[in-house]
A and B are shown apart, each in its own frame.
Chain A
Amino acid sequence: MAEEVTKIICITCPMGCSLEVTHDGDTVTKVDGASCKKGAEYALAELTDPRRMVTSTVKVAGGLHPLIPVYTAAPIPKPRIFDLLASLRQVELQAPVKVGQVVLASVVGTDVDVLASRDLPAV
């Protein structure tokens, strides 16, 4: 097992500190460049289990617009983003839709739901 240094930018706050993370595989030994302790937490999470909030759209039939925006209720694993997007492409809702309505439940093996971002009336 070899030690390596990975450079990442922390996005916890707008400062955007450039971090240098010394790690051996998944084991972090040192984090340089952080202005606060959240930096180290972010570095660890980013290395071992990077997650992202995902926002996109799904098709709607019978509504004011052909698409409705949707969002994940919590961040999902970054490597699964495109799997999620592929699943969302299969979805077609029927208007009317209410904000917060569950569009897809427990996506990509997590317990995170995808919700509607707005009301969409039927026309």
Chain B
Amino acid sequence: MLKQKYDVIVIGSGPAGLAAAVEAKKTGAEDVLIIERDRELGGILLQCIHNGFGVELLKEDLPGPAYAQRYIEEVHESGVETLLDAMVLDISPSRHIYAISEWSGFAELDARAIVLAMDCRERTRAQIRLRGSRPAGVYTAGTAQRFTNIEGSLPGERIVILGSGDIGMIMARRLTFEGAKVERVLEIMPFLTGLTRNYVQCLLDFDIPLQLRHTVARIIGNRRVEAVEAVQVDEKWQPVEGTREIIPCDTLLLSVGLIPENELSKKAGVLLDPVTNGPFVDQGMQTNVPGIFAAGNVVHVYDLVDWVTEAGFVAGRAAAKYAIAQRKRVARQVKLQAGANVRYVVPHVMDKEALAESDQKLQMRVVSPIEGKVWVQVTDGENQIVRKGQRYARPGEMVTVKIPQKAYDEVQKTDRLTVNVVAR
């Protein structure tokens, strides 16, 4: 059963979200919930089946799913709750979350602290202004990876890859392993944009040609990709005459960059850095909105997942501390209620600790006039805390009463004080 309110709600269960949830629990948050849009925990790690994860943090060289599994086990062991196959539709700055899922329907939740861990989306063909037709067979590398590794279907047999980022190179090897032919990798920059070790183990190992300073001028094919037109470019990314080449293929993979996915963050009032496209954060990964934290690729694009996990720890710890402080603050509050013949009392709540510093003055208006001596009385329901005499009480004149510092001990014992104005 979902609760109404959680200490920490984490959105996303990739390495950042898992780490944040686990660390929040360790730091003392009482209830922690992960909301994940896929059917299982693990985020993008589940489809990153290659190794290279955990070398720094765990001193092991693990494939992505195995790395995820370590933290997933900690999530379950530590009592973190999970809501799977659920999409967060909206977050307000006051940390109210709207989420929907097939199984729980429409959920409205409150969080004392939120950790945003929604990772990135991939740059699309439109964003790089790829010309030509719009057939089937054009994929971003991540989507192709999802189909190949999780759904169990190969996107195509003859592949051209645009972009020498790590995802593209990893997929070059992956698809080669599953019997497809990777014809070419094209990179518009004059240098490799991914790791050298991937260039060796994914391209060189399998004689897959890499052409730097090259791009796709246009896509050819009405229904399904039939070829791409590759071209060399100069420093201004303009095509160099005489270098156009038609490369027959049935699939074009785009590995042209990641953009932090912050639409939800914006709804919550989080300010984004236009350079990173991720939230402005402090050393605890808190955004400009109090109680909303962010970790992982949603903040900026990382190179090693180990550092994403570390960022998740930082955010989870800070989020838990924030939530705990919130609880304490509210626990320290006593409600001030309008009682007999009182229309309202201001302030509405009082931090009990305030009495340690000074007397606290309450202001109010009465409902009906009493032309005669009155008591203005503050009570906790059983005992009188303080009483003040007046000669009359009229709605047109504000009435006040002071809670003296010496009432400190009595006030600690209650969560509610009522103010009455009655005839003497």
Contacts and interface: CB of A to CB of B under 8 A. Distances in A.
A9 B200 contact: yes
Nearest to B66: A117
Interface in A6-35: 8-9, 11, 14-16
Contacts of A71: 49, 51, 62-63, 66
Given A52-B205, A85-B177, A118 B152 contact: no
A67 interface: yes
Contacts of B63: 55, 69, 71, 117
B177 A14 contact: no
A55 B50 contact: yes
Interface residues of B, number: 29
B40 interface: yes
B197 A11 contact: yes
B53 to A, nearest CB: 10
Interface string A51-86: 011011101000011110101000000100100010
Contacts of A65: 150-152
A7 to B, nearest CB: 10
Nearest to B45: A118
Interface in B159-199: 177-178, 195-197, 199
A119 interface: yes
Interface string B322-357: 000000000000000000000000000000000000
Interface of B, secondary structure class, is helix
Nearest to A119: B69
Contacts of A81: 177
B151 to A, nearest CB: 8
A52 B177 CA distance: 13
A118 B66 contact: yes
B46 interface: yes
Nearest to A72: B51
Contacts of A69: 49, 63-65, 149
Contacts of B66: 71, 99-100, 117-118
Contact of B65 (A52, A78, A118): A118
Nearest to A121: B40
B39 interface: yes
A8 to B, nearest CB: 8
Contact of B49 (A52, A56, A100): A56
A14 B197 CA distance: 7
Contact of B204 (A9, A57, A64, A117): A9
Contacts of A8: 200
Contacts of A64: 39-40
Contact of B196 (A16, A66, A99): A16
Interface in A84-118: 85, 99-100, 117-118
B320 interface: no
B152 A67 contact: yes
A11 B197 CA distance: 5
A54 to B, nearest CB: 8
B65 A117 contact: yes
Contacts of A85: 177-178
A101 to B, nearest CB: 12
Contact of A118 (B46, B51, B151): B46
Contacts of A11: 196-197, 200-201
A104 to B, nearest CB: 15
Nearest to A56: B177
A10 B395 CA distance: 86
A57 B51 contact: no
Contact of A57 (B49, B64, B199, B200): B49
B385 interface: no
A71 B177 CA distance: 13
Given A69-B65, A69-B149, A78 B205 contact: yes
A121 B68 CA distance: 15
A11 B200 CA distance: 8
Nearest to A59: B152
A67 B149 contact: yes
Nearest to A11: B197
A52 B151 CA distance: 26
Nearest to A16: B196
Interface in B110-134: none
Contacts of B51: 53, 55, 71
A15 B197 CA distance: 9
Interface of A: 8-9, 11, 14-16, 52-53, 55-57, 59, 64-67, 69, 71, 78, 81, 85, 99-100, 117-119
Q: Which 3 A-B pairs have the closest CB atoms?
A: A16-B196, A69-B49, A118-B65
6 contacts: A9-B200, A55-B50, A57-B149, A59-B152, A65-B150, A67-B150
Given A9-B200, A55-B51, 15 more contacts: A11-B196, A16-B195, A16-B199, A52-B201, A53-B51, A55-B63, A56-B177, A59-B152, A69-B64, A71-B62, A117-B62, A117-B63, A117-B65, A117-B66, A118-B69
